[in-house]
Every structure is written in structure tokens, then in C-alpha cells.
A and B are shown apart, each in its own frame.
Chain A
Amino acid sequence: MKKPWAVFKREYLQAVRKKSFLIMTVLTPFLFGALMIIPSALAVKGVGEKTVAVVDGTGRLAAAVAEGLRAAPADDPGKDAAGSLERPGRGRRATLPGNVRAEYVSAAGRDPKEAARPYLDRLHSEKAGERLDGVFIVPGKAFEDPSLTLTYYSRSSTDLIVQERLGRVVNRALERERLTGRGLNPAEIDALLRDLHVDAVQLTKGGEEKAGGEMNFLAGFVFVLLIFIPVLIYGQEVMRGIIQEKTDRVVEILISSMTPFELLSGKILGMAAVGLTQIAIWVAMGGAFAAWGATAAAAAGVNLGQFLRPTLAVWFLVFFVLGYLINVCIYAVGGSIVNSEKEAQQVLGPVIIVMMLPWFLVMPIIMNPDSTLSTVLSLIPVYTPITMFIRILVSEPPLWQVGLSVVLAAATILGFFWVTAKIFRLGLLAYGKRPTIPELWRWLKVA
């Protein structure tokens, strides 16, 4: 055990003492924060000011449009409190543009298309005051003929949020008008059309009730990133280290002193310790922020405590280590068979994309944690760490599945260690020449 320990110590100290480690450790949380805050801030502030013209062929929607745009959030009261990134009580959804100003044009008795013509021209007007972001056309017989369509013209084909919102406003108005036609008074209609807010609650097997909803998405992403980032950074680092040892020929000294298994276990575990150290520092740094965040979240009615359960911390550690080791082994194999970093990128590129699969599937996995897709992915060892962790985070997968996935992943890691050590050992024989796949296979069998 002495020799792996010597390697472990060396790898750890060399990595932790580097300036880049310090810089990465300090800067990453800030970059992270910026990445999360800037887009939502932009969505609220920057994109918010939109001016559209509503050309109404029926001539009866003036009040509905004016009121609907002003009080749009009233459509789903309560959701804001939990979902908004802003402080509660402002009554505005962060995910929607802050403000849509509508110029109402009554085109009663006229062809709304004709009436809209001057406004459509203004879509591409150069003058700032005149310029419109969109034109919404309601056909004249909208109240009578349900087969008609509303049309939204805009400069960009992806102005979905405004389109959605105007559509809802107009449809609500249509509902009201139809009901008024049946002899109901406006007060009754309001009462009839009132939506109830849906409160998302996760009921655990133990009968505990936990708040569900959007915070779970956020937590899922944060944890996935916490698993992924160190893997990407230190996987590369391990690979670079191995390539460096080969080019510097240190490897001759190492291999003449210990077995490849001893060398690789010391190396990979040393780097894992570096990653864990970094995360521990981030957690500590996050502590202060979280204390502040928790107060804010509590004010917003979100119970952050449910994401910081001790069991979750244990699972995080387990899946972090598993995910880390699996990925690093892959990088180590890469480092063993190539002779330069450039070559390594070519060889590993496709492999990394395959490994990243769960990252692209985070959304469906979070939304359907117990689906067949999620279950299958969580039992495939290379995907276990992220998928199973997400499932544990947002749901309660059967314990046997969790156990099985951990056992499978651990077995895979041992297998990877073994294969990596072999390939590493034999890769040395190919000094200066990248082995072909048949050669690799032969090496595995020989040693």
C-alpha cells in the first residue's frame, strides 16, 4: 500500500498546489452564479419591452386586451410565489417578458387583414418610436366561428412567449363573450372561470410530504453539474498526466518500481481526492451564500432543507466517486494508448459524447424519474452516477435498483481499473506508435 500512497500523495499535492487549482476553485462558483443569474435577468429586463398591435376584427376586445395584458399573471395566481426567481409579491413571472404594450386597433366591419396592413409595415420600420415587435390579428367572425385562427405576425419566428400570452388573453375574452351571450353576468363568469393553483407535493414512502415543482429542476441541474465539472477537469488532468509521464519517460522509473495497478490506483484516487477537495471548498463557499439563499427561499415558501438532507449528501458522495472513477478510467485508457494530447482529443471525442448522454437527457429524466428510460439508464454503469442520483433527488427509486446500480458501477470500475492497468502497461510497449484496435485486443489477452 506504500507505493500507491506515495503516488496518491504526489498527485494530490502537485495538483492542489498549482495556481490553476486555486483560480478554478475560487472562480467557478462566481462563473456559475453569473451563468445562472444573467440569462434570467436578461429575460426579465432586456427582452421585456415589447410593443405589439392587436388588430381586432370583432371590435369588442378592447377592454379584455387592456386588462388581460395588465393582469396577465392573475391567470395563475400562486405559481409566482414558488416559481419566481424574484422576490414574491411583485406579481410578475420571471420566465415571461416583463412588459408587453399593446396598441389596440378596432377593425370592426372591415377586413382585419387590410386594416393590419399599415401596422405590418411598421414591423420593419426604422424609426424607434414607430417600430412594432408584432401584429396580432383577430378575424371578424372570431366569436361565431370556432374554426377560424388567430394570426400573430412578428419579426422573429420564435417570439413564442408574446404569442402565447396574447393568444391566452384573446381566448379568455372569447370565452367571456360566449358565456355573456348565454346570459351570464361578468361577475358570475369571473367566478366560473377562476383557475385553481396546483400545489406540487412529493409524497415519500414514509408518508412525508415534500414540496415539488421547479426548485427540483434547478437542484437537479446544479447537482449534475457538480458531478460533471470535476470529472471533465480532472479526467483531462489524469490523461494529461499520463501522457506527460510517457513523454518525460518518468514512466520507466515508475513501472520499474511498482505494478501498473498500484500506479493507476494511486493516481486516480489522488485526483479524486483533488476533485472532492474542490467540491468541499465550493460547499463551504456556498455555505454563506446558501444561508442567505435559504432565508430568501424560505420567504418565497420554498423549503430548501429538503435538498440538503444528510442522506442526499451521502448519495451525492457515493455517486460522485462512482461517476468520477468511471470517467477518469476512460480518460486514463485514452492517455495510455495515445502519445499526445491532440491525438487524445481525436480518440476520446466520440467517447466523451457518449458519456455525456445523461447530460442531454437531464430534462426528461427529471420529469419522468421512474420511466423505463430513466430506469434503464440508471442501471447502465457508465450512466448510473448521474441518472440514479437525479432519480434519488426528485423521486424515490426502489432500493433494490439503487443497490444494484451501485454494485454494477463498482464492479465496472474494478473492471475498468484492471483493463486500464493492462492497457497502460502494454501501451508502453508501443512507445511512439498508437496501437490499432486488434493490437489492443491482443494486448489485453496477453498480459
Chain B
Amino acid sequence: MSVILSVRDVAKSFGDVKAVDGVSFDLRPGTITGLLGRNGAGKTTTLRMINGIFFPDRGEIRLFGGDSKDARDRVGYLPEERGLYKKMKVLELLLFLAEIKGRASAAMKGAAEKWLKRFELWDRKDVKLEELSKGNQQKVQLIGALLHDPEILILDEPMAGLDPVNVVLVRRLLLELKAEGKTILLSTHQMAEAEKLAEEIVLIHHGKVVLGGSLAEVRASSGKSAVHVDFEGDGAYLPTLSGVAGGRVDTNHAELALAAGADPQALLRSAMERLAIRRFEVVEPSLEEIFIEKVGESTLEAERTAAA
């Protein structure tokens, strides 16, 4: 398994505040990885370090194995806040952004036109940025991040400020880019969004990685997965099967809680040995549930206590 971006034990403090405290993760080429966390968890600081804006206090960040001279030019970055020259015209700005990524602006005109048209901004190509709406500025910023055809795209809250139609537009685009073999790292606190896009998850909390891995692994590791089975036969023995943490068995229906790390496929095989299975459904907890379980319990608990 090759690694296109590796972050090793990276830390960054601002004064006494440890914004990032020993974060490690890898990006595999051609995947979409979601960097999740609450506000202030250290997502943006991590992305800024990857982009060379902050120097880490310790740890190491390697792009493309660490020996690429033009590594920065092969990365596209969408910052959290809009970072655009407000007085420049849309097309002019985009060509400038491609140029500082080492592309000749003349060669980029075609690509810029293609993207502007796709984002319904072509007729506004000679309008100053400050005259665009926030959502349109965000779209320009996104085009700026991918115009120079980078291999890695780092997107800090790419959906912020977009209307639902644009959200779908961007989501489709990201999946398309992934299909083309691009590697995407996106930060978000919208779990539903991450669930639709990301196959790899890095969940950070108070500057530390609290959960990482593929979406499936993350779900399995949460220990909250359940199996719903409709069957014919005597299912009373089902809760005693290995991998089952407990459950409730009715006449033709059982709801079983899976033990952490248990393989539902193995469970299905054992169940089929003695029962006719009509329906077998793995009910996975949503990312949001996992998220709240991992990082939000204490906060919500505190709130409940306060309310009571």
C-alpha cells in the first residue's frame, strides 16, 4: 500500500494552547479521507501544517514520499476562509493562482473556462471578486484549488456557504476527481457529508486522533453495530454465537448486538447452518452517532446534568 501523504506525530502549540498534539495518519492515493472533529479540534491547524503555512513544533509531514521538489505545486488547497484578492477579476485571479503553482497562464485559459462554465460562473469571469456572493466566491476558490490539476486536493470545509444544489455539484465533482485517481483530504464537521464522500476517516479531538481507519472499520470498532435477523426455526441459541454481545430473540425475529470487532459475515454463516434466513441486515451506527459517542458524550452529559 503506497502512501502519498504521511503525517507523523505532528504537534503545534499556540502559547499554552496545544492545537494539535501528536497527530498521525496516512493518505493512500486515489482515496477520499475525511478529517473530522468538532470546532477547534485542530483540523484547520493540521491542514495548515500540511500546506506549509505553520511549521509543526515536532513531527514530520511527507508529501509524495518527501523527495519531490515541486511537491507544493502538486497540491491544491482550499483554505477554510476565503483567501482571494477581492479587487481582482475572476478569470484573472484564477490564472494567477495557476501561475503561482507553476503553470503558464496562457495554457490554463482553456481549463479555467471549462471549470467556470461547469460552476455557472463563465458569464462572471470579468467581474471583481468582491462583487460575487459568498457562495460564488467559494466556488471560485475551489476552482483555484484544482485548476492546476493537482494530485492531492486538501479542502478545508469545502461545503461551507454553498446552497444544496451547489453541495450536490461539488460532491459529484469530488467523486469524479477521485475516480480520476486524485487523492482528497477534506475536513468537515458535517458527519452526513463525510459519510457520503469519505472512505477513510480521521477523527481528531483536542488535537489528538481518537479514531482512524476506513469507514467500515470505524463503524465496526464503535461496538454499536447490530444485526437484525428474520428467520424460520428455533433461534433461541443466536445470542450465544461468538461475536454476539447480547440480544433479544422473538419468534421469527432477532435483534443482536455485535461484539466489538465481530464479523457479521461469520455470524451469518453460523446462523444459516441451523436456520432459514429470510432477512439479514447489519445495522451500522451512523458516523454522527460514533462521533458523538467518541467526542461529544461528555459535553452532552454535562448539558443534561445542567438541565436537570
Contacts and interface: CB of A to CB of B under 8 A. Distances in A.
Interface of A: 2-3, 6-7, 10, 14, 248-258, 428-429, 447
B100 A252 contact: no
Majority SS at the chain A contact face: helix
A249 B144 CA distance: 14
Contact of A257 (B48, B85, B101): B101
Contact-size category for B:
20 to 34
Interface string B72-94: 11010101011111111000000
Contact of B52 (A7, A10, A255): A255
A428 B144 CA distance: 22
Contact of B72 (A10, A251, A258): A258
Interface in B137-162: 144
Contacts of A6: 96, 99-100, 105
Given A248-B85, A250-B83, 12 more contacts: A3-B99, A3-B100, A3-B102, A10-B85, A248-B82, A248-B83, A249-B79, A249-B83, A252-B83, A255-B51, A256-B53, A429-B55
10 contacts: A6-B96, A248-B86, A250-B85, A252-B77, A253-B77, A253-B79, A253-B144, A255-B51, A257-B72, A429-B54
Majority SS at the chain B contact face: loop
A248 B81 CA distance: 8
Contacts of A252: 48, 51, 53, 77, 79, 83
A55 to B, nearest CB: 70
Contacts of B101: 257
B97 interface: yes
* Central interface residue in A3, A14, A250, A258, by most chain B CB within 10 Å: A250
Contacts of A447: 55
A227 B88 CA distance: 30
Contacts of A3: 99-100, 102
Contacts of B85: 10, 14, 248, 250
* Central interface residue in A248, A250, A254, A257, by most chain B CB within 10 Å: A257
A424 to B, nearest CB: 12
Contact of A428 (B53, B73, B81, B105): B53
B98 to A, nearest CB: 9
Closest 9 CB pairs of A and B: A6-B99, A256-B51, A249-B83, A257-B100, A252-B79, A250-B83, A253-B83, A249-B81, A256-B77
Interface string B45-62: 000100111110000000
Contacts of A2: 99, 102
Given A255-B53, A256-B52, A428-B53, A7 B100 contact: yes
Contacts of A14: 85, 87-88
Nearest to B96: A10
Given A256-B75, A257-B72, A250 B84 contact: yes
A254 B100 contact: yes
Contact of A253 (B55, B87, B88, B97): B97
A80 B70 CA distance: 69
